[in-house]
């Protein structure tokens, strides 16, 4: 466990969705059996191709893009269970109406949708650990909380493989706590396993992937490589959060503007568009990017009223600030994958 490696999932960029969270809570009236998710039931999928959900959304400026579903995306969402009044409760209830609504109209809408152009998106609900588990001195119970969350994800993934995958190529996409679980999922199911050949790429964002965590699964060296992973954590140039000061650069980092893993600078003109609180608005050239000692450093993003945005930690924007670049890269890697493994 690396408690110093996670940031509180800042609610700033999702705060404009709070009315939606409340408005849509009444759609979540299903009840689990013994508190466990039943992944045969689509209610326990935040996103699934057999139903409409916010992960199916496309920003209006991108509606002209051709869409298909040649691969699957298995998306693991970040921590939504953050309210202080529940800090002594280790795991979220799977039927928590507020958390499920917030998940759908924040991370599904603003993050998972970046992967939907050429893929079916599967995103399981899971009994996520409370944000306090990352910082608690009670590491025994904290680890139990993460284990419970992972076992839900593992069960969901096994059911997905058995029921819906049918040997389709897979992209693993994740953020924050979701990325913590995704790295374990990759090690358990893909690394040195036959399923590894189905891996287009993995995007493990907002979470440090130690350089010694995997043996054979490697970083994607450019924008086209497949069967590999990408990872980054974003902060303002010159800023290192206190809980990361002891890492000493021991984390994989990808620059999502040029898809390099060295410190080659990418100017803001390589940023093809961010999606912020207004989902249907694309903001071009918001920021540059350069890798520095295990982090992705950017200058303060420029967008309307950005002078009021004082945070130096851009954890919540790991996908949003690079939305169009991520979306285009998914297409590039899919095309590259099918050149390597021609469809039968």
pLDDT, tens digit, 9 for 90 and up, residues 253-265: 999 999 999 999 9
User: Residue 159, Cα to own-chain centre: how many angstroms?
Assistant: 20
Q: Are 327 and 67 in contact (CB under 8 A)?
A: no
Which stretches within the chain are classed as H helix? 18-23, 97-103, 109-110, 139-160, 177-189, 323-340
Q: Is the pLDDT of residue 22 over 70?
A: no
| Separate counts of helices (H) and strands (E) for the chain | 6, 11
User: Residue 248, Cα to own-chain centre: how many angstroms?
Assistant: 24
For residue 130, the 8-state DSSP code is P
Residue 305: CB atoms within 10 A of its CB come to 6
Tell me the average pLDDT of the chain: 90
Q: Is the pLDDT of residue 160 over 60?
A: yes
If pLDDT is split at 50, 70 and 90, which confidence band does 26 have?
very low
* Stated pTM of the model: 0.90
From the list 225, 288, 289, 200, the residue with the least C-alpha distance to 253 is: 289
If pLDDT is split at 50, 70 and 90, which confidence band does 88 have?
confident
Q: Which two tokens stand for residue 91?
A: 């795991």
- pLDDT number for residue 196: 96
d(CA 287, CA 256): 11
- pLDDT number for residue 32: 61
User: Residue 285, Cα to own-chain centre: how many angstroms?
Assistant: 22
Q: Is the pLDDT of residue 307 over 90?
A: no
Q: Is the pLDDT of residue 16 over 90?
A: no
Q: Is the pLDDT of residue 28 over 80?
A: no
Taking only the tens place, the pLDDT of each residue in 226-253 is 999 999 999 999 998 877 777 777 899 9
Q: According to the per-residue pLDDT averaged within each range, which of 4-8, 53-57, 303-307 is highest?
A: 53-57
If pLDDT is split at 50, 70 and 90, which confidence band does 87 have?
confident
Q: Which two tokens stand for residue 53?
A: 């959900």
178's CB contacts (< 8 A; 6+ apart) are 75, 76, 77, 78
């Amino acid at each position: 466990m690396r408690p110093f490696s996670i940031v509180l999932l800042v609610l700033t960029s999702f705060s404009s969705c709070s009315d939606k969270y409340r408005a849509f809570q009444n759609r979540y009236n299903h009840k689990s059996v013994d508190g466990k998710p039943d992944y045969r039931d689509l209610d326990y999928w935040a996103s699934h191709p057999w139903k409409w959900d916010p992960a199916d959304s496309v920003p209006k400026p991108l509606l002209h893009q051709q869409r298909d579903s040649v691969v699957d995306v298995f998306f693991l969402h970040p921590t939504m269970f953050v309210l202080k009044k529940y800090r002594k409760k280790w795991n979220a209830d799977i039927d928590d109406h507020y958390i499920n609504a917030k998940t759908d109209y924040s991370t599904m809408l603003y993050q998972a949708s970046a992967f939907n152009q050429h893929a079916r998106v599967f995103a399981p609900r899971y009994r996520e650990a409370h944000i306090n588990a990352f910082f608690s001195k009670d590491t025994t119970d904290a680890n139990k909380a993460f284990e419970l969350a992972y076992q839900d994800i593992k069960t969901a993934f096994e059911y997905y493989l058995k029921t819906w995958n049918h040997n389709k190529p897979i992209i693993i996409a994740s953020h924050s706590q979701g990325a913590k679980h995704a790295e374990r999922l990759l090690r358990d199911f893909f690394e040195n396993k036959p399923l590894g050949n189905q891996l287009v790429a993995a995007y493990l964002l907002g979470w440090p992937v130690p350089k010694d965590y995997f043996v054979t699964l490697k970083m994607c060296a450019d924008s086209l490589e497949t069967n590999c992973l990408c990872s980054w954590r974003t902060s303002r140039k010159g800023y290192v959060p206190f809980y990361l000061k002891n890492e000493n650069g021991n984390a994989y980092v990808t620059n999502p503007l040029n898809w390099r893993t060295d410190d080659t600078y990418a100017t803001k003109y390589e940023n093809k568009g961010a999606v912020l609180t207004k989902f249907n608005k694309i903001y071009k050239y918001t920021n540059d990017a350069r890798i520095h000692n295990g982090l992705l450093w950017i200058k303060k993003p420029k967008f309307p009223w950005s002078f009021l945005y004082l945070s130096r930690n851009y954890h919540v924007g790991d996908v949003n600030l690079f939305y169009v670049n991520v979306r285009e890269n998914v297409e590039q890697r899919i095309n590259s994958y099918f050149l390597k493994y021609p469809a039968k």
